[in-house]
Amino acid sequence: MCGIFGIVAAGKCDNLNILAANGLASLQHRGTESSGLVGSDGVTRDHVEIIKGHGLVRDVITEDNISKMDGQSIIIGHNRYSTAGKKKSGINCVQPFVVYTAMGTVAIAHNGELVDAKQKRTEVLHEGVGLSTDTDSELIAQMIAKAIALNVKCKYGQDIGDITRELAVTMSALNMSYSLLVMTFDRFYAIRDPFGNRPLCVGTVISKDGSPQAYIASSESCALPANAKLDFEVRPGEIVELSSDGIKSVWQMKPNTPLAMCIFEYVYFARNDSEIEGQQVQTVREECGKTMALEDDIEADIVGNVPDSSLSAAIGYASQSGITYEPVLHRNSYVGRSFIQPNDEMRQNAIKIKFGVLKKKVQNQRIVLVDDSIVRGNTMRTLVKMLRDAGAKEVHLRIASPPVKFPCFMGINIPTSQELIAAQKSIPEICEYVGADSVRYLSVDGLVSSVQKGIERTTNFSPGHCTACLTGKYPVPINM
């Protein structure tokens, strides 16, 4: 899971660099390890401006260096949450990747993870292509460069910045999972794999006179500025071109049947105010809470939640059950999401300074504590103890997703079942481990129906979701 953002000026746009930095900051929840921007002036084929570094957007893109993007007419950016690649800390792993090709400089920002990266890497290396990292994102960049080289003689006298055909060739050689932004000197492309595994949307920034100011592609619609409109979500298997001339769909592969949109986007990753598959994420999470309450029969005094992404599910649970919602935990907003920290030691340290208990709310109360998921169990064990120490009479955990039992090979950093508490322990054992009075999860059917209920109200989306981390049923064969 990463955040990708691209923007191209429709005409004169003096603040394109600011819009790009702000857009990337709005996707900070999708990755906190590193950030980067790459920009083109729209004219020079063999030069780009680059800002990259480890840390949050605010630390990497500063007042001192943002001026490097002055005069750029196209900018793409990336927030990294590392999955594939052992050398995760190297600056050469920070995206967007830049490669020099036969037609000029190409930059790529990738969200997802290739399930067959090992095989593809071997193929590329045996063709004599050197790789500077072991990330699958660089692998995609080199495959695009190869496709450009093979077709460059056929482009004589043609639009040199147009690499639609080369991208289509590359797509046909890739397996899931990817959403991509690929930038040439005068345009960029938004690309989604035929399974639709990772979200990607397109919007238009509107100027004061009502004309287009810029065109945007983003992992989530929450990154669109206030004066922008969401145009559409990139279809599975589609290539969309964004340039100063506008937005157009230039290629459509046959979407996979069924689709395999990551259902965990709704559970945890996406921001509440984003729209995915034509529905607001907030609404889906509330529906999950309502469904969970219908599957439950607990008696309690209050419903609380683990801030922040489980708030919607807690509101839905309280609404359906009739039990009053009360905030019971305070989250320190200056601490990152512990789940997406790259190792267990950093996750543990984050938990200790992340939450505080609202003691007056919990004393002598039977609490239904709602969270969106339990992955490793470390956070929940600490929180239950904190609530009991503050005087809670009972703590009943209600998880607004099914147990995570299987690793993800498509972009979530859960590499082995040994890290997953639900894969190692039964629900009674989990209850004992975290110290709760009871533990109950939303069923798989309940989650799927809650997600697809809103999609059925539209005509533009065909429901189909990846539940592999919950069921072990992967959309494609996984070669370990």
Does the annotation place 408 within a ligand binding site?
A: yes
CA atoms within 13 A on the CB side of 132: 12
CB 76 within 8 A of CB 48: no
Q: Bridge partners of 100? A: 105
Give the integer Cα–Cα distance in Å for 179 and 236: 9
Alpha carbon distance 5, 220 (integer Å): 9
Query: Around Cβ 169, how many Cβ atoms within 10 Å?
Result: 17
**Cβ atoms within 10 A of the Cβ of 346, count?**
13
Q: Is 431 within any annotated ligand binding site?
A: no
Residue 123 bridge partners (DSSP): none
> Is 297 known as a binding-site position?
no
Q: Is 262 annotated as a binding residue?
A: yes
In the residue annotation, 222 being an active-site residue is answered as no
Exposure pattern of 433-465 as b/e (b: 16+ CB <10 Å)?
bbbbbbbbbbeeebbbebbbebbeeeeebeebb
* Max Cα-Cα span within the chain: 78
CB environment 372-397: b (16+ within 10 A), e (fewer): bbbbbbbbbbbbbebbbebebebbbb
The annotation status of 469 as a binding-site residue, yes or no, is yes
List the beta strands (DSSP E) in 341-461: 355-357, 366-371, 394-399, 438-441
How many other CB atoms are found less than 10 A from the CB of residue 322?
A: 8
Q: Look at residue 287 and give its three-state secondary structure.
A: helix
CA-to-CA distance for 72 and 70, rounded, in angstroms? 6
Q: Report the C-alpha gap between 154 and 169 in whole angstroms.
A: 15
Q: Write down the H helix ranges in 378-476.
A: 378-389, 421-424, 427-434, 444-455, 468-471
Binding residues: 262, 309, 371-372, 408, 466, 469
Query: Which residues are designated catalytic?
Result: 2
**Which parts are annotated binding residues for [4Fe-4S] cluster?**
262, 408, 466, 469
